[in-house]
Amino acid sequence: MINSLIIFSSISFMIYGLLSFISKEMQDEIDRWGFSNFKYFLGLCQLFGGFGLLIGLKWPYLALIMSFLLSLMMLSALIVRFKIKDSIIRYLPAAFFFVINVYIFINILNNL
């Protein structure tokens, strides 16, 4: 099951990262969060995080690091959404991926 979660999370982050470069809607959303100057950096972080997590299927220490960093990214996203007073429905994706990546992190940590 953990491998399925890793694959799901990594592909999701790579898609979100790619959308940061090509989707006007995603770029507008990043602007709404107040991170206009960092949209490509955020996209790269998502792409590399997702890719690193996927490679972590072969090297668990890399998956441990990437799941931790992606968890921090999603915790930061939750804080930003709180600061801009987003509706609860807009919190759900960040909360969902936060929980998944914390679970991945704890699972890998317990199995090393």
CA dist 101 and 53 (Å) reads 10
How do residues 11-57 score in pLDDT, each as one tens digit?
A: 999 999 999 999 999 888 888 888 889 989 999 999 999 999 999 99
Domain positions in the chain are 2-111
- And the tokens for 52? 């690193």
Cβ–Cβ under 8 Å, residues 40 and 21:
yes
How do residues 72-87 score in pLDDT, each as one tens digit?
A: 999 999 999 999 999 9
